[in-house]
Amino acid sequence: MYLDSHCHLDRLDLTPFDHSLDKALQSARQNGVSGFLCVDIDLDNFAAVRQIAEAHPDIWCSAGVHPNAEFDTPLTAETLKALALSSPKVVAIGECGLDYYRGLDDRLLQLERFQTQLDVAVELDLPVIIHTREAREDTLLHLRRFAAQGGRGVLHCFTESLEMAQEAIEFGFMVSFSGIITFRNAQPLRDVVKALPLESLLIETDSPYLAPVPHRGKSNHPGWVVDVAACMADVKQVPPERVAQQTQDNFFRLFSRAQRAPA
């Protein structure tokens, strides 16, 4: 059974499922998906994310702020701690990190947000879900310090260099790959997948974004994490079942507060 380690269930296009999240989840389960991590990106929408997780035994969630998020609720350590402790279904902080793709105008704000979330993760002993884009040096600098304090986490939807992935793995992080690895022009990224140990990898959809081949152009959903796994299995020349089992084991090792749903 497959586990989608990063999706935004509160943002799915439910039109193909009669506007029903339950039907969308059932479709994914019928496709072999046995668990979902619903990832928060801003504090204003955390209540909706938590509600989804609390309504389903096979869904967990996070609390955090995306580096480019715009929202009204002030991000303070106290506010974030309160949200993270508000439910046993909260198993991580994030997604947080740094994104310099559009420039450096808000770099200081991003760095402040990032450090606040890393500090809370250390205090609560929760893993972090990291978004990083064109911010390799600053991301690794902060994560080295975080890991030295006992911090752990995952670089999600990874699109950076092999060297960055290897360094993150060296200080105990995992690396997660999305449907991007199925894209025709993603051979360099598939080379990264091939070079990394399966014991350090996760799979995700990042749905509703980045639908994998053969679904490109459509709104993504968690049922298609099986296509990500199939591509990873092909690249690493192992059976898809091995990818499914190992990435699921990796997930529960990293997100240790997540309880496996009853069979």
Quick: pLDDT tens for 177-206: 999 999 999 999 999 999 999 999 999 999
Question: Which pLDDT does position 72 carry in this prediction?
Answer: 81
Question: Which pLDDT does position 5 carry in this prediction?
Answer: 98
pTM equals 0.96
Residue 192 sits at the vertex; the CA angle it makes with 189 and 195, to the nearest 5 degrees, is 155
| Maximum CA extent, the chain | 49
State mean pLDDT over 84-107.
94
Is residue 103 over pLDDT 80?
A: no
The answer for 84, left when phi > 0, alpha when psi is -120 to 50, beta otherwise, is alpha
The runs of H, that is alpha helices, within the chain are 21-30, 46-54, 77-84, 107-124, 136-148, 162-170, 187-195, 225-236, 240-254
Question: Which pLDDT does position 138 carry in this prediction?
Answer: 97
> Could you tell me which residues come within 8 angstroms of residue 70 by beta carbon, excluding any fewer than 6 positions away?
42
Please say whether the dihedral angle defined by the alpha carbons of residues 210, 213, 217 and 219, taken in this order, is positive or negative.
negative
Q: Residue 8's CB: how many other CB atoms inside 10 A?
A: 21
Question: Which pLDDT does position 78 carry in this prediction?
Answer: 97
Beginning with the edge strand found earlier in the chain, give each strand of the sheet holding 33-38 in spatial order. Answer: 2-7, 33-38, 59-63, 90-99, 128-133, 153-155, 174-177, 201-203
Q: How high does pLDDT run on average in the chain?
A: 96
Is residue 57 over pLDDT 70?
A: yes
Instruction: Enter the CATH code of domain 2-254.
Output: 3.20.20.140
State mean pLDDT over 236-250.
98
The model's pLDDT over 161-174, given as tens digits with 9 standing for 90+, comes to 999 999 999 999 99
> Could you tell me which residues come within 8 angstroms of residue 141 by beta carbon, excluding any fewer than 6 positions away?
none
